[in-house]
Structure 1
Amino acid sequence: MTRNAVLAEQRPAVPRGLAPEIVPLGYLIVEILAFLDGLEDRTGTNLADLKTLRAAGDRISRAIAEVGADMQRLSAAAQETERTAAGKLESISANADRFRRLGEWGTGISSRTYDLERVLHEVVGANSQIARIARQVNILAVNASIEAARAGDAGRGFAIVAEAINELSRKTAEAAGGISNSIESLDDWTRAMRDDSERYAADFEAGIAGADETSRVVRAIAEEMTRARTSIAAVEKSMNALDADNQTAQPIYDAIGATAQAVATEVHQARERASRMMDTCETLLQRAVSQEDDGPDHRFIAHVRRMAARVQQAMSAGLAGGLISRADLFTFDYVPIPGSNPVQHETPFARFTDHTVQALLEEALNFDPAVIFCAICDRNGYIPTHNLKFSHPPGPDPAWNTAHCRNRRIFSDRAGRKAGANRAPFLLQVYRRDMGAEGFVMMKDISVPITIEGRHWGGLRMGYRETSAR
């Protein structure tokens, strides 16, 4: 007895009709796996976001500390500047007041020169009167001297008095002349000073306005410095409060991060367990289908195996006929196609499979209305050639492309990987097919390996809806 026969005898019998009972369980597990996949993706994203948030919190803490230190230094500098500036501002204000008084004095010179000129005119008038009196006295003195000379000895004393009066009138005349000259010089100086004061009056007035503006600016500077110091103190207080809040938030970040990490770990573990459940369910389904004499999937399995043999024969014939080299057929290099979304790839054998198996894939669709697709995939899940209805040129809408541009794509999902790697006579899977804008479709997938010249190349995949619903 062969080893397989012994194992067959030892293997527990599978009740007839068990496969239809296993399939709904498979669908349920697939749904759970899809949910856990999405949840794992979201928890991974959340962990990354929390890591980013935590890093941002650390940067904020450092920034708060740096700003707080800067604010303390700025506050101290502001206080010292305010104290120093107070004295300087007082000095500036005092100088402005002095300049204002000087300007007021300067603008008043013109009016005072008019007063001085008026007084000088009065002095000139009085001096002229004195000069006239002096001349009259001189004439009287001369006349007295003449009369004294006529009187002889009797008029000698009178002659002496007349001489003295004449001398006095002479000196008075000289003094009046000197005063007149001085007054003329003073009058010239007064007019010059008045002209200068009038010429500089606008400057003096501008100086007064400037002094007033300086005083106003000085007061405004003092007020602004006080407000600045007050604002700095308020900002420093706010930064201290922010630092306290941030310090309070740090343990919360840590707790959320720890919880999220624990949830992510548990989700991953749950997904691993669900994946093992799916493996077990598929193993049971595979055994049930293999050992049952008949069932809803048997005719599909038989059809896919026949089509796989024809595909394998066509590819082998093309290789033998020189349509492609063995090296190119087994070169699994994937070059992204620019602008495709989802990303499509070219390979050395894609055009060859289009030429050799496209017609066979279209023929396979006519087997049963439940059949959705039939495509070949290499050992890595890459589908070079698909049905024409799923092989449209990509457009700008990724959702539409997902459903209608499925050739030249690598399907690295669980079903795609297992279909490409399968070397058993057949593999029956249940899975959710992403149809883009149409959503996900639950279906069965049968894959049969394709071997070229004794070397495993990939497989033929056929997807179809549940036949019991027909």
Structure 2
Amino acid sequence: MTQNKIPAGQLPVADPAGLGRYVEALAKRAGTLGVEAADMAGRAEDIAEQVHRQADALTEMRGQVQDIAASNRQILDETGQAESDIRTSHQRMTQAQAAIKVALDDVLSLTDGITRIEQRLPGLEQSLDQVGRVSADIERIARQTNLLALNATIEAARAGEAGRGFAVVAGEVKTLSRQTAEAVTEIQQTLAALTRQIRDLIAESGEASGKASAARAGSGQIGEAVRDIDHACTTIAATQRTVSAIAAHSRDNQASCDALVGGITRLSDTGDRMRTGIADVAQGTRNVLTLSEDLIELTAEAGVETVDTPYIQAAIAGAAEVSRRFEAGLDAGRVTLDALWDEAYQPVPGTAPQKFTTRALPFYQTALADVLEGLAALTPQTILCVATDRQGYLPVHNKRFSHPHRPDDAEWNGQHSRDRIMMTDRTAQAGLKSTKPFLVQTYRRRLGSKVELLKDVSAPILVKGRRWGVLRLCYTP
């Protein structure tokens, strides 16, 4: 729009004919500003919600990392204890290994000694047999000597006085023969006892030798056992090194977890500041949106025709028609005030979004359907027209949004089956709280995963002087 050049020191003179155009242009620009502000506020809220979810995720992640750090500390403590136990076990196993090797050498030495003794025992038995034979010869000689002494004694007696000296010698020989015989008898008894003992020893040594031989033959198995112990010692040493490495990694992990917790905490703090800043931006944008909506309302109230005027007029007229029909229904007895103000909403099982019924629902369906459907077809830009009670209950919706409910398909239902639900969003609540003859709002409507930018004009529905709710007419800006 071009402007005429104003002479210096002069103010422009109001042009009554062009004032309406200026106001209309101002209202149009205010509407555009409101649309942009609504879009910005909605996006800021989406970002704030995303930041909020991320902050929650970071908080949860921080808790998980702290749990991991605590578990890692437990692992570190248990690894240190295991490392100490393995070190002690390795020392004891090494000592046992040395003791077993010494004991094995002693066993093998004992086996060799037993074998040598067993090998010598037969020679000792032979020597004893030889002594026995010599003893037998001495005994025979003693008997013969005794017989000879007896004969000599007899001959000495015959010789008389001349054989007296010979008789003395014969007596001594006889005494020596007797003593020899007694000594031989004692020797033979000793040899017999010694022979029995030697034979018993030979028998026992044979058994011991057999066991010693078996022990020597089994030394290979003992050696294999020792080699197994050697391998176990090597394995324990390797395990000790592995546990030490695990402990070192656990300490590194602990440091990393601590650093990660610190980083997440700082990131979470930054997210909190961002969330606060975004919330401030969103609030400021909503303030701009509110000012633009107020400007549109003031322009409409001033009687200036704008792009929103047809929708404002239609909403006011539609609300008046609904009020007339409700009062007519009361007068005709087709509904009662108690039913119209029934807030005992009964949930419909298995519905998502949740649907409800009230006592006045059949009346709503006959009284509202054609009025709302006609207003929804006001212009190609009109999206919907609904009536909600003072709690936001929407008993009847337009046909395009009133398809039969689909079980287990909340996404589809959120876009196509929206009758009998509760409207609790900010725009709906603002319309219900407004005391103005009409309220213009711009907002982002979310239907499942779908988002639309709409304008909303609401007008109060009065029944017998009481505010029943509002009529809402929504269209694309």
Range of TM-score over shorter length: 0.7 to 0.9
- For 1:124 and 1:318, the matched residues in 2 are separated by 145
Q: CA deviation at 1:386?
A: 1.2
- 1:144 aligns to 2:155 (yes or no): no
- Counterpart residue number, 1:122: 126
The verdict on how the C-alpha distance between 1:63 and 1:83 changes in structure 2, with shifts beyond 3 A counting, is closer
- The aligned amino acid for 1:354 is Q
The letter of the residue matching 1:25 is L
Q: Check whether the contact 2:386–2:473 (CA below 8 A) recurs between aligned residues.
A: yes
Instruction: Please give the alpha-carbon distance, in whole angstroms, between the structure 1 residues aligned to 2:51 and 2:392.
Output: 27
* Structure 2 counterpart of 1:78, from 58, 80, 84: 84
Q: How does 1:269-348 map to 2 (within 5 A)?
A: 269-292=280-303, 294=305, 296-320=307-331, 325-332=336-343, 337-347=348-358
Q: Distance in 2 between matches of 1:346 and 1:99?
A: 95
The TM-score with structure 2 as length reference comes to 0.74
Asked which structure has the greater CA Rg, the reply is 2
Distance 2:361 2:135 in 1: 137
Query: Post-superposition shift, 1:421?
Result: 3.1
Cα 1:66–1:117 change in 2 (3 A) is closer
Give CA-to-partner distance per residue, 1:349-405, whole Å, 9 cap, x none.
545533542344344445444433222112343323212332331432332122112
The aligned counterpart of 2:427 is 415
The alpha-carbon distance between structure 1 residues 442 and 90, as it changes in their structure 2 partners (threshold 3 A), is closer
Alignment counterpart, residue 405 of structure 1, candidates 413, 417, 421: 417
Task: Kindly state the Cα deviation for residue 183 of structure 1 after the two structures are TM-superposed.
Answer: 1.5
Aligned equivalent of 2:10: none
Counterpart-to-counterpart distance in 1, 2:329 and 2:187: 146
Q: Aligned AA for 2:38?
A: V
3-state SS of paired residue (2:388)? strand
Q: Is the 8 A contact 2:315 2:457 kept in 1?
A: yes
What is the match of residue 396 of structure 2? 385
Measure, in 2, the Cα distance between the counterparts of 1:258 and 1:233: 38
- Tell me the CA shift for residue 276 of structure 1: 1.0
Q: How does 1:38-77 map to 2 (within 5 A)?
A: 38-52=46-60, 70=77, 74=81
Distance 1:340 1:195 in 2: 95
Identify if the C-alpha distance between structure 1 residues 370 and 82 changes in structure 2 by more than 3 Å, giving closer, same or farther.
closer
The one-letter amino acid of 2:410's match is: P
Which of 171, 175, 179 matches 2:183? 171
Question: By how many angstroms is 1:445 displaced?
Answer: 2.7
- Aligned-partner SS, 2:436: coil
**The one of 414, 419, 440 aligned to 1:428:** 440
CA distance change for structure 1 residues 28 and 327 in 2, over 3 Å: closer, same or farther? same
SS of residue paired to 1:406: coil
Residue in structure 1 matched with residue 200 of structure 2 by the alignment: 188
Does 2:41 align with 1:37? Answer: no
- The DSSP-based 3-state class of the residue aligned with 1:310 is helix
Per the TM alignment, residue 39 of structure 1 is displaced from its structure 2 partner at its CA by 1.3
Secondary structure at the aligned position of 1:39 is classed as helix
TM-score, scaled to structure 1:
0.75
- From the superposition, tell whether residues 306 and 202 of structure 1 become closer, same or farther in structure 2 (CA, over 3 Å): farther
- The alpha-carbon distance between structure 1 residues 411 and 201, as it changes in their structure 2 partners (threshold 3 A), is farther
Alignment match, 2:451:
440
Query: Does the 8 A contact of 2:394 with 2:419 survive in 1?
Result: yes
Compute the RMSD of aligned alpha carbons.
4.4
Q: Tell me the SS of whatever aligns to 2:407.
A: coil
Retained in 1: the 8 A contact 2:386–2:397?
yes
| Structure 1 position 23, deviation (Å) | 3.4
Contact 1:110 1:197 in 2 (8 A): yes
- With 398-407 and 344-353 compared, the bigger mean Cα shift is at 344-353
Structure 1 pair 196–409 and aligned structure 2 pair: CA distance change class (3 A): farther
Q: Which amino acid aligns with 2:395?
A: P
1:4 alignment partner in structure 2? none
* Matching of residues 228-243 of structure 1 within 5 Å: 228=240, 241=252
User: After superposition, what is the alpha-carbon deviation per residue over 1:385-435, rounded to whole angstroms, capped at 9, x for unaligned?
Assistant: 212332331432332122112223333333322333344333333333323
Residue 233 of structure 1: CA displacement? 6.0
Give the stretch that moved more between structures: 147-156 or 375-384. Answer: 147-156
| Aligned residue type for 2:31 | V
Unaligned stretches of 5+ residues in structure 2:
1-15, 157-162
Cα deviation 1:142-184 (Å, max 9, x = unaligned): 4433553464338543663365245324422431232123321
Residue 450 of structure 1, CA deviation:
1.1
| Cα distance between partner residues in 1 of 2:98 and 2:381 | 102
1:91–1:67 distance in 2 versus 1, CA, 3 Å? closer
Q: Distance in 2 between matches of 1:364 and 1:197?
A: 120
Match of 2:22 in 1: 15
Secondary structure of the corresponding residue to residue 424 of structure 2: coil
Q: Is the Cα–Cα contact under 8 Å of residues 113 and 194 in structure 1 kept in the other structure?
A: no
> Structure 1 pair 109/318, CA: closer, same or farther in 2 (3 Å)?
farther
Give the letter aligned to residue 195 of structure 2.
Answer: I
Which secondary structure state, in structure 2, belongs to the residue aligned with residue 15 of structure 1? helix
Given residue 418 of structure 2, which amino acid in structure 1 is its aligned partner? R
Residue 267 (structure 2) aligns with: 256
* Structure 1 gap ranges (5+): 1-8
Aligned counterparts of 1:193 and 1:352: Cα–Cα separation in 2:
120
Letter in 1 for 2:53: T
- Following TM superposition, by how much is the alpha carbon of 1:37 offset from its aligned partner in structure 2, in angstroms? 0.9
Percent identity of equivalent pairs:
18
